[in-house]
A and B are shown apart, each in its own frame.
Chain A
Amino acid sequence: MQLNGRHRQPRRWLAPAALALVCGLYGTASRTDVLPEDRADALVTHYTGGGQDINGISFLVRKKIGDHVSVSYNHLVDIVSGASIDVRTSGASPYRETRNQDGLNAAILYGKTTYTVGFSHSKEPDYQSNTESFGISQSMFGDLTTVSMTYRRTWNDVYKMLCIMRDEAGACVEKEHDPAFGVKDMDERSYGVGLTQILTRNSILSANFEVITDQGWLSNPYRSIMYADPTSGSGFGLAAEVDPSTRTSNALGLDYKYYLPWKAALDLQYRFFSDTWHIRSHTAQIGYTQPWRNWTFDGSFRFYKQTQADFYSDLFTSANQQNFMSRNRELSAFNSYTVGAGATYEFHVPHAPWINKSTANFRVDHFMFDYKDFRDALLIDPTAHVFAGAEPLYTVQLNVMQLFLSVWY
């Protein structure tokens, strides 16, 4: 009997809670799905191009513990030497730097649900990054569908290196953190949802939507903007870039795999990206995998196209033209084409029955970047009538080589 005319709040949480409880009980009773396989990989990488040489080594070890948990540990070292065009344009000299990264990851499987949790730490002299990530994935509809959600949070500390000692040639031999710059921080959060659907006996489709939001100091301490300066001999001046302190981006990626009747696989990928800096990009990739006896061959072609950030310009009219200014080529309009090929050889390890499978792999990727509004400032030479803003557009080619060994046990 309602005494004061107001309805009692129906107990809306009761029914869904009861369902969740029943579901939980039934869910744990049904047993499906598998944890990732136990494996170890050791990778050596060599990146060359654009004035830089980056050599890396990385390894990963993954092992099941009991029936429900699989853990993995990975360690990575990158040694960067040389100087990209951006570094050389700003007047800095070639350098050599090492980055170390460690990651720990666990996957926990109960019934049809897999929970993942991961931590990673990356450290180089001027950049420290910590990441924590969580994910949950659920398979349903006779295991034809998998739905997943991920959350990732990254905290970065950015420093700027200052050269305090040079050798006779002028190359920097000792650096320290620039006290004037101090330390700036940046916080990134990523939210992702994914759906993987088996379409037919021969095909499977995966869709992923990810929102990433950044906050804090988002500029690059080594990137400068160029502005027209008639008073200077070169015709231009350099100043530090200033990026906005927030950025939110959306990316929707699709990946379709098709099994070809002669035992090969076709892979088609597409991703659309857009962000609050008004950058829009399209990524399209086609890949082909062909096994043959003990070998597996891979080939791929990737096309990437992006538009520029709304505060990007190759040459500003003055050092204070606007609040946010950047000449970072990664935020400029460009097309990039990547051709890749790889070969895998499966071999047998003698006297090691605990090894199920082992492979030796080699892969090369060749990148071509075609910038639409980023010019090669090193070619500016007023005496030769090559003025700032009219120098040739920059193009660069990169080669990335990978050699790795994988073992399943």
Chain B
Amino acid sequence: MLTRWTRSGLMALATVILVTAAHATGDGPAPVFSLPARGGSTVDLSQFKGQVVMINFWASWCGPCRQEMPLLESIYKKYKPLGFTLLSVNVEPDQKDAEGFLKQTPVSFPVLFDAKSKVSGLYNVQGMPSTVFIDRKGNVRLMHVSYRPGDENLYMDQIRTLLRE
């Protein structure tokens, strides 16, 4: 017969598993949004339907975010011709800091400004940086939190899988 402690332990274990499971990989259609972009235009997520979209939430004060920028630039250049786009969403209230960083680390992909954290909230960003992969049908397929050296391979694997669909 299960002792009191073992029963409590198993209940706690079940809770952990259930709660963790809820935070697993993405689900459902990607929330649509439109944000001002660098250069003055406005970018809307729906204009990329049919393409594989990678949204990267970043800030200039975040070390790992700055570290992965050049790698995102090479990923963008490599897969853009195949129907891929990268939307870089800067979450800072003041554009000046982002502009300062981009001057030193220029990128060619669109940089959007989410100064009021509207889109960060929509996507329930759990950490900095956060990278979301959206398939051609507009569904969120994966949300990756954090950047560690080597994660760019994970990004490329995911992009290739979604491009093949």
Query: Which A residues are closer than 8 A to B by beta carbons?
Result: 10-12, 14-16, 18-19, 22-23, 26, 31-32, 34, 37, 67, 142-143
Report the separation of the CA atoms of residues A31 and B20 in the bound assembly, to the nearest whole angstrom. Answer: 14
Chain B proximity of A401: nearest CB distance (Å): 32
The 25 listed contacts between A and B (C-beta, < 8 Å) are A10-B3, A10-B4, A10-B6, A11-B5, A12-B5, A15-B5, A15-B9, A15-B12, A15-B13, A16-B9, A18-B9, A18-B13, A19-B9, A19-B12, A19-B13, A19-B16, A31-B146, A31-B148, A32-B127, A34-B63, A34-B64, A37-B63, A67-B149, A67-B150, A143-B127
When A23-B16, A31-B145 are in contact, do A14 and B126 touch as well, CB less than 8 Å?
no
A142 to B127, CA, bound (A): 8
Q: How many residues of B contact A (CB 8 A)?
A: 21
Q: Is B8 an interface residue (CB 8 A)?
A: yes
Q: Are the C-beta atoms of A67 and B148 separated by less than 8 Å?
A: yes
Interface string of B10-25 (1 = CB under 8 A from A): 1011001100100000
Which residues of A have CB within 8 Å of B64?
Answer: 34
Residue pair B10, A15 in contact (C-beta under 8 Å): yes
**Chain B residues in the interface with A (C-beta under 8 A):** 3-6, 8-10, 12-13, 16-17, 20, 63-64, 126-127, 145-146, 148-150
With a 10 A CB-CB cut-off, give which of A12, A15, A37, A143 has the most chain B CB atoms.
A15
Residues from chain A with a CB closer than 8 A to the CB of B126 are 142
B146 contacts A32, CB within 8 Å?
A: yes
Q: Is the CB–CB distance between A15 and B8 below 8 Å? A: yes
Task: Return the chain B residue nearest A10 by Cβ.
Answer: B3
Given the complex, which residues of A lie within 8 Å of B9, measured CB to CB? 14-16, 18-19
User: Shortest beta-carbon distance, A27 to chain B, in Å?
Assistant: 11
Q: What residues of B have a CB within 8 angstroms of the CB of A26 in the complex? A: 16, 20
A108 to chain B, nearest CB (A): 15
Q: A15-B12, A18-B9, A26-B16 are in contact. List 4 more A-B contacts (CB 8 A).
A: A12-B5, A26-B20, A32-B146, A143-B127
**Residue numbers in A under 8 Å from B17 (CB-CB):** 22
The 5 closest A-B pairs by CB, nearest first: A15-B9, A10-B3, A31-B146, A15-B6, A12-B5
Query: When chains A and B are docked, how far (Å) is the Cα of A369 from the Cα of B159?
Result: 67
A10 to B145, CA, bound (A): 41
A32 to B128, CA, bound (A): 9
Task: Flag if B3 contacts A11 (CB, 8 Å).
Answer: yes
